[in-house]
């Protein structure tokens, strides 16, 4: 067990409002795919609105920008859920529901285990990735950075 | 092409080595020297010699394991178990680098958000390939589909899911029940699928769907069923019950 977890933010521009019939397929998948994430190995935390099962009513980055914001034990755990589970088929169909974003839309960064990141923090990491490209502060699956060295707490345990 | 690539291909020139390699590649699990000797009808010592040559060439991986599954005194000497190496081998003479081209093009498709254009192209190519082979009659649809996939660079295998007695569909010789589902043991686009999973897997799916469409196979359906360590595409009888857990997307 390392002293760090991996946080991820990704945003998507919807092709219409959530009650648009073209998005019915996506809306129907929210519950099962969120349940799949929650039960995946290495899942730690997922951002959601207070008292609601997901964060689809939150639009901190723009009126048509959905966010997907979560914490995982490792990049491999996140990779396995993202690309080696039923979630892959959602990604395969992303262009049915989401417009193409020309700027970076997904960022990864390391957090101390136990820390719950804020939306402001996630927005800042996305901004860093867009401005500087992949760095240890904000990176991508294709250009990963290792977790920071073990903390004192993990050395003494 | 690299020196090690030339050696690896050279190692397969021997007919027995080729037969051994093909046998081991077709097994989903590790194969012992004795099993390989049985499968090829060659002497065990000779088989052992050739298996080690295939390991040297990087075509097979070998592990020492106690076959009995027990440890400690009395559990027997560990045996050498062979399986196909993960390493990818490409041979192009004269040298070509379509792999880099594929990765660059995938990056461009992703950057432009042109996923659906790629899927449409894959579907059309699949139909073209499927039409080139007339359907054989008198076979179960899924078995038919397996034959087509095998003819197009895939390695179809009956779903290794076991029944409660531990038997696998198609294990028993003369088993009258055809496999209900087919998984693909290899991913023909492996490195691309690792770097661009949704794009490469979506392309693969449409290629297979097109192949069935072009060949007139309507009784088998391909869909996504991604899980660790295997191809993301699953082929099952159209409308048939599925025993795999999957989120129904369509």
Q: Where do the structural domains in chain A lie, given as residue ranges?
A: 4-156
For residue B224, which residues of chain A lie inside 8 Å, CB to CB? 86, 88-89, 92
Contact B249 A93 (CB under 8 A): yes
Looking at chain B, which residues constitute the CATH 1.10.10.10 domain(s)?
Answer: 3-84
Picking from A36, A85, A88, the nearest residue to B198 by CB comes out as A88
Which of A33, A85, A102 is facing B226, going by the closest CB pair? Answer: A85
Start-to-end CA distance of chain A, whole Å, equals: 10
Query: Counting one residue from A and one from B, how many pairs have CB atoms under 8 Å apart?
Result: 56
**Chain B partners within 8 Å of A89 (Cβ):** 223-224, 226, 247, 249
**Contact (CB, 8 A) for B183 and B230:** yes
Residues 6 or more apart whose Cβ sits within 8 Å of residue B213: B123, B126, B127, B130
From first to last of its 250 residues, chain B has per-residue pLDDT tens of 467 777 888 888 888 999 999 899 888 789 999 999 999 998 898 999 889 999 988 889 998 887 665 666 666 778 889 998 887 777 777 778 899 999 999 999 999 999 999 999 999 999 998 888 655 544 456 667 787 788 777 888 876 444 444 444 444 444 444 557 888 877 889 899 999 999 999 999 999 999 889 888 888 889 999 887 777 899 888 765 444 444 443 3
Asked if B117 has any chain A CB less than 8 Å from its own CB, the reply is: no
Residue length, chain B? 250
Q: The domain B3-84: what is its CATH number?
A: 1.10.10.10
Architecture of domain A4-156: 2-Layer Sandwich (3.30)
Q: Where in chain B is the domain with CATH 3.30.1380?
A: 98-164+177-237
Of A92, A99, A100, the CB nearest to B224: A92
Evaluate whether A131 touches A95 at the Cβ level (below 8 Å): no
Distance CA A87, CA B224 (A): 10
Q: What is the pLDDT of residues B128-139, one digit of tens each?
A: 988 886 555 444
Taking CA atoms, what residue in A is nearest to B245? A86
Provide the edge-to-edge strand list for the sheet that holds B220-224.
B156-158, B182-184, B233-237, B220-224
* Cβ contact, residue pair B115, A84, below 8 Å: no
Nearest by CB to A84, which of B205, B227, B247?
B227
Could you tell me which chain A residue has the CA closest to the CA of B229? A84
Q: Is the ipTM of this complex over 0.90?
A: no
Task: Extract long-range pairs of B128-135: CB within 8 Å, 24+ residues apart.
Answer: B128/B210, B128/B214, B129/B210, B129/B211, B129/B214, B130/B210, B130/B211, B130/B212, B130/B213, B130/B214, B130/B215, B130/B216, B130/B217, B131/B214, B131/B215, B132/B214, B133/B215, B134/B215, B135/B215, B135/B216, B135/B217
Which segments of chain A have a pLDDT < 70?
1-2, 150-157
Q: In this complex, do A92 and B116 lie within 8 Å of one another by their Cβ atoms?
A: no
Provide the 3-class DSSP secondary structure of residue B150: helix
State the alpha helices, DSSP H only, in chain B: 3-11, 15-26, 33-40, 44-56, 98-112, 115-131, 141-150, 190-195, 197-215
For residue A12, the chain B residues in CB contact (below 8 A) are none
Total number of residues shown for chain A: 157
Strand partners for A111: A5
How far is A8 from A78, CA to CA, in rounded Å?
9
Q: Which residues pair with B235 in a beta bridge?
A: B182, B222
Nearest CA in chain B to A27: B249
CA dist B221 and B249 (Å) reads 13
Residues of chain B in contact with residue A83, where contact means CB-CB under 8 angstroms, are: 197-198, 226
Q: What is the pLDDT at residue B138?
A: 44
Chosen CATH of B98-164+177-237 out of 3.40.1700, 3.30.70, 2.40.70, 3.30.1380: 3.30.1380
Nearest chain A residue to B109 by CA: give it: A100
- Name the CA radius of gyration of chain A, rounded: 16
CA distance linking residue A14 with residue A63, whole number of Å: 9
pTM exceeds cut of 0.80: no
Q: Do B249 and A80 touch (CB under 8 A)?
A: no
Residues of chain A that touch chain B, judged by Cβ-Cβ distance less than 8 Å: 25, 29, 32-33, 36, 80, 82-96, 99-100, 102, 142
pLDDT number for residue B171: 47
Q: Is residue B235 within 8 Å of B181, Cβ to Cβ?
A: yes
User: Where is B224: in which H helix or E strand?
Assistant: strand B220-224
């Amino acid at each position: 067990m390392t002293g760090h977890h991996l946080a991820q933010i990704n945003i998507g521009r919807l092709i219409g409002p959530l009650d648009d019939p073209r998005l019915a397929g996506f809306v129907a998948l929210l519950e099962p795919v969120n349940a799949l994430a929650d039960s995946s190995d290495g899942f730690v935390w997922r951002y959601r609105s207070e008292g609601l099962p997901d964060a689809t009513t939150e639009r901190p980055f723009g009126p048509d920008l959905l966010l997907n914001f979560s914490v995982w034990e490792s990049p491999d755990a996140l990779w396995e859920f993202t690309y080696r589970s039923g979630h892959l088929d959602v990604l395969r169909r992303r262009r049915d529901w989401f417009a193409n974003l020309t700027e970076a839309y997904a960022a990864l960064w390391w957090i101390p285990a136990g820390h719950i990141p804020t939306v402001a923090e996630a927005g800042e990491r996305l901004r860093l990735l867009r401005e500087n490209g992949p760095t240890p502060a904000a990176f991508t699956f294709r250009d990963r950075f290792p977790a920071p060295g073990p903390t004192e707490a993990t050395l003494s345990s | 092409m690299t020196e090690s690539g030339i050696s690896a291909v050279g190692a397969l020139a021997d007919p027995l080595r080729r037969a051994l390699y093909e046998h081991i590649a077709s097994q989903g699990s590790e194969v012992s020297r004795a099993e390989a000797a049985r499968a090829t009808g060659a002497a065990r010592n000779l088989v052992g010699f050739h298996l080690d040559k295939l390991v040297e060439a990087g075509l097979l991986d070998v592990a020492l394991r106690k076959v009995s599954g027990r440890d400690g005194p009395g559990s027997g000497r560990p045996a050498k178990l062979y399986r196909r190496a993960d390493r990818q081998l490409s041979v192009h003479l004269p040298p070509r680098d379509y792999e880099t081209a594929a990765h660059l093009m995938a990056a461009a498709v992703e950057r432009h958000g042109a996923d659906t254009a790629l899927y449409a192209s894959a579907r059309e190519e699949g139909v073209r390939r499927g039409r080139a082979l007339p359907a054989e009659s008198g076979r179960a649809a899924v078995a038919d589909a397996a034959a087509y996939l095998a003819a197009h660079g895939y390695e179809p295998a009956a779903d290794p899911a076991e029944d409660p007695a531990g038997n696998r569909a198609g294990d028993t010789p003369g088993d009258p029940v055809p496999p209900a589902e087919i998984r693909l043991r290899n991913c023909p686009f492996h490195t691309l699928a690792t770097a661009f999973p949704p794009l490469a897997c979506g392309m693969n799916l449409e290629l297979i769907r097109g192949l069935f469409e072009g060949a007139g196979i309507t009784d088998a359906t391909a869909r996504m069923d991604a899980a660790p360590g295997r191809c993301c595409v699953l082929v099952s009888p159209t409308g048939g019950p599925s025993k795999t857990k999957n989120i129904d997307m369509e």
